[in-house]
Amino acid sequence: MAAIIPIPAFADNYVWLLREGRAAVVVDPGDAAPVQAYLDLEGLELAAIVATHHHGDHVGGIEALVARRQVPVYGPARETIPARTRALREGDGVVLDELGLELFVLDVPGHTAGHIAYTGRVADAPVLFCGDTLFTCGCGKIFEGTPEQLHHSLQRLASQPDDTLVYCTHEYTEYNTPFAQICEPSNLALKQWVGEAEALRQQNRPTVPTTLRQEKATNPFLRCTQAEIIYQIEQHNGIKLAAGDEQAAFTALRQWRDMF
């Protein structure tokens, strides 16, 4: 049965490695060295590379990996991905025969113009590889897209089943939770998660994956309609949001986070 392994890279990245038998597929290999070290240690053969977007900390290791072994490289059609062999768009599927898996593509622009995410089932659990679009208790910065695009992309991800395992590519929980607590200080689920995340990090264990159920309960960017969050936005910005204007609340929240 396929398994998903986090390979730490740089200061806070994860390269996600899917393995089944002696075959492996990696998602967003920004650094080749730790990936190759893991492959060598475990006696695995790289079968494919999957990318969500073009930023260097997600694709910087691709060329070194394919220099060792020529494998398919999948990535977004609207971005330049090193050594890409297949350009992907909304609705495309990626069949990973060596692992007996298939991933499906969602267009989720906002962080970058052509960012994509992948959904599927691994070990009979729904999974989401969302790159830098959705983080634990946060979301990606807007570098190339618009607040409207990112908000729509997050809503699309949130529409996946609640038990979906969320594999984002940064260890950002402790970085994001202080802001989340300011936005929603009465959120008991968030307070509980802060304690759990601190305990995990003290043991040098990842706080990801989380689930969409947990993100919907703790992530302010998926909770823009909550009265307490709207109140905190209005108090911080000295504005009055129009009733029911979720996009305006999201935009103001993302701008506040940028300055936090």
Catalytic annotation, residues: 53, 55, 57-58, 111, 132, 170
Strand order in the sheet with 13-20: 3-9, 13-20, 23-27, 45-50, 73-76, 86-88
Q: Considering all CA atoms of the chain, what is the largest pairwise distance in Å, rounded to the nearest integer?
A: 59
> C-alpha angle 185/189/191, rounded to 5°?
50
Question: How far is 36 from 46, CA to CA, in rounded Å?
Answer: 9
Question: How far is 50 from 156, CA to CA, in rounded Å?
Answer: 20
Residue bearing tokens 């989340």: 180
